[in-house]
Amino acid sequence: MARMKFLCDAERCIECNGCVTACKQENEVPWGVNRRRVVTLNDGVPGEKSISVACMHCSDAPCMAVCPVDCFYRTEEGVVLHDKDVCIGCGYCFYACPFGAPQFPQAGAFGMRGKMDKCTFCAGGPEADNSKEEFAKYGSNRLSQGKLPACVEMCSTKALLGGDGDVVADIFRDRALKRGKGAEVWGWSTAYGKPDKQQAPKGAKS
Partner 1 sequence: MRANYSGVRNFLLGLLLLLPLCGGSAWAQAQSQDTQAQRQEVQPGNNAPTWREVRSGKEAYTTAKGREAGVLIQNEGQAWRKLRNGPIVQYGGWLVVLMLVGIGAFYKLRGPIGLHSPPTGKMIERFSSFERIAHWSMAISFCILALSGLITLFGKFVLLPLIGHTLFGWLAEFGKTLHNFVGPIFAFSVVVFVVKFIGDNWPRAYDITWLVKGGGVLTGEVVPSGRFNAGEKIWFWGGVIGLGTVSCASGLVLDFPNFDQSRSLMILASTVHVIAGLWFILWAATHIYLGTVGTTGAYDAMRDGYVDETWAREHAQYWYEDVKAGRRALPSGEPGDATATTAPTQVQH
Q: Report if residue 14 touches partner 1, rule: CB under 8 A.
A: no
Q: Tell me how far the alpha carbon of residue 109 is from its chain's centroid.
A: 31
**Pick from 55, 82, 103, 124: which binds partner 1 (CB under 8 A)?**
103
CA pseudo-torsion sign 16, 159, 45, 33: positive
Q: Report if residue 58 touches partner 1, rule: CB under 8 A.
A: no
CB atoms < 10 A from the CB of 166, how many? 11
How many positions of this chain bind partner 1 (CB under 8 A)? 67
**Which lies closer to partner 1 via its Cβ, residue 46 or residue 146?**
46
Q: Report if residue 105 touches partner 1, rule: CB under 8 A.
A: no
Residue 105, sorted as left (phi over 0), alpha (psi -120 to 50) or beta, turns out to be beta
Q: Report if residue 89 touches partner 1, rule: CB under 8 A.
A: yes
Q: Report if residue 97 touches partner 1, rule: CB under 8 A.
A: yes
CA pseudo-torsion sign 173, 177, 182, 186: negative
Per CB under 8 A, which region of 103-111, 139-147, 153-161, 163-171 contacts partner 1?
Answer: 103-111
**Pick from 2, 11, 25, 131: which binds partner 1 (CB under 8 A)?**
11
Q: Report if residue 200 touches partner 1, rule: CB under 8 A.
A: yes
**Pick from 28, 133, 136, 186: which binds partner 1 (CB under 8 A)?**
186
Q: Report if residue 177 touches partner 1, rule: CB under 8 A.
A: no
- Phi, psi (5° rounding) for residue 39? -115, 135
Q: Report if residue 90 touches partner 1, rule: CB under 8 A.
A: yes
Whether 141 contacts 129, CB under 8 Å: yes
Whether 80 contacts 65, CB under 8 Å: no
Q: Mark 33-52 with x for binding to partner 1 (rule: CB under 8 A) and - for no binding.
A: -x--xxxxxxx-xxxxx-x-
- Phi, psi (5° rounding) for residue 141? -120, 75
Q: Report if residue 71 touches partner 1, rule: CB under 8 A.
A: yes
